[in-house]
């Protein structure tokens, strides 16, 4: 908070979408929620986790302050409805195969099901095999739908299945992409961080090393201030004058 930035801790109790059946899954629902509750209690930090099936929504909402809908599942109506009915705000990731305009239907499902709040998250778009690109128009378009937007800077540099039995990535591009997103204007950022990314159980190649976080947050804080206080969020209105 010393930079004036809010913080939500995110972890998964189950990494259900693994490249290989031998990939690490996590502790499971019961133990995972115990750990998240302990983190929340001991740190005073809000917690976020993702759900994969409708029946998980209610028990997860008893612990998590916000529920996340994974990108591959963002069109699953029953999942969106169950998550929305918990009363918790949602972070819905845009699927890698979807146009940003298509998130209007996702947003409608959530709102009509009683969602207390919805954030739409950009995490890259499939570009051929094992490649993701970020079309930064997506941030403007999704914000134009009337929802706050999040930019997932680390999953956006992922190379799905790029290591054969797991996903690869290139963390060198995290900072440039963060800078671009902040220049446009976003409401939040999603960052995977690990003290030793090379030995992380998943997504290590695109994770930010813990030792680099202070530098990254300094950049984020200054660029966010500049955009909000000096430049203003980029939109499409300027071209209509």
pLDDT of residue 24: 82
Residue 2 lies in a domain: no
Please compute the mean of the pLDDT values over residues 59-72 and round it to a whole number.
Answer: 98
Distance CA 61, CA 153 (A): 26
Q: In which element (H, E) is residue 188 found? A: strand 188-190
pTM: 0.93
Is 182:220 a contact under the CB 8 Å cutoff?
yes
CATH number at residue 212: 3.20.20.70
Residue 193 lies in a domain: yes
Lookup: tokens for 58: 């209610």
186 falls in which pLDDT band (50, 70, 90)? Answer: very high
Please compute the mean of the pLDDT values over residues 72-92 and round it to a whole number.
Answer: 98
Asked which of 56-65, 208-217, 231-240 is least confident by mean pLDDT, the reply is: 231-240
Residue 40 lies in a domain: yes
43 pLDDT exceeds 80? yes
For the stretch 130-142, pLDDT in tens is: 899 999 999 999 9
The closest of 68, 66, 90 to 16, measured between CA atoms, is 68
8 falls in which pLDDT band (50, 70, 90)? Answer: very high
pLDDT of residue 241: 66
Is 152:138 a contact under the CB 8 Å cutoff?
no
Residue 14 lies in a domain: yes
Report CA-CA distances (Å) from 158 to 149, 154, 216. Answer: 20, 7, 18
19 falls in which pLDDT band (50, 70, 90)? Answer: confident
Domain count, the chain: 1
106: domain range? Answer: 9-240
């Amino acid at each position: 908070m010393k930079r004036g930035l809010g913080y939500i801790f995110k972890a998964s109790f189950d990494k259900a979408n693994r490249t290989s059946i031998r990939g690490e899954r996590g502790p499971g629902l019961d133990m995972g929620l115990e750990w998240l509750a302990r983190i929340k209690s001991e740190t005073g930090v809000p917690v976020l986790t993702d759900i994969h099936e409708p029946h998980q929504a209610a028990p997860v909402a008893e612990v998590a302050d916000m529920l996340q809908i994974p990108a591959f599942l963002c069109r699953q109506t029953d999942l969106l409805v169950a998550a929305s009915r918990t009363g918790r705000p949602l972070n819905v990731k845009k699927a890698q195969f979807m146009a940003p305009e298509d998130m209007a239907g996702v947003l409608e499902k959530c709102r009509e099901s009683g969602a207390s709040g919805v954030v739409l998250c950009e995490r890259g778009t499939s570009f051929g095999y094992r490649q993701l690109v970020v079309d930064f128009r997506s941030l403007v378009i999704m914000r134009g739908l009337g929802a706050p937007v999040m930019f997932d800077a680390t999953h956006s540099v992922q190379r799905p299945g790029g290591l054969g039995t797991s996903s690869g990535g290139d963390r060198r591009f995290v900072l440039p992409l963060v800078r671009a997103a902040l220049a446009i204007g976003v409401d939040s950022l999603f960052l995977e961080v690990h003290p030793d990314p090379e030995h992380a159980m998943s997504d290590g190649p695109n994770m930010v090393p813990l030792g680099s976080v202070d530098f990254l947050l300094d950049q984020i804080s200054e660029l966010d201030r500049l955009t909000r206080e000096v430049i203003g969020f980029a939109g499409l209105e300027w071209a209509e004058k």
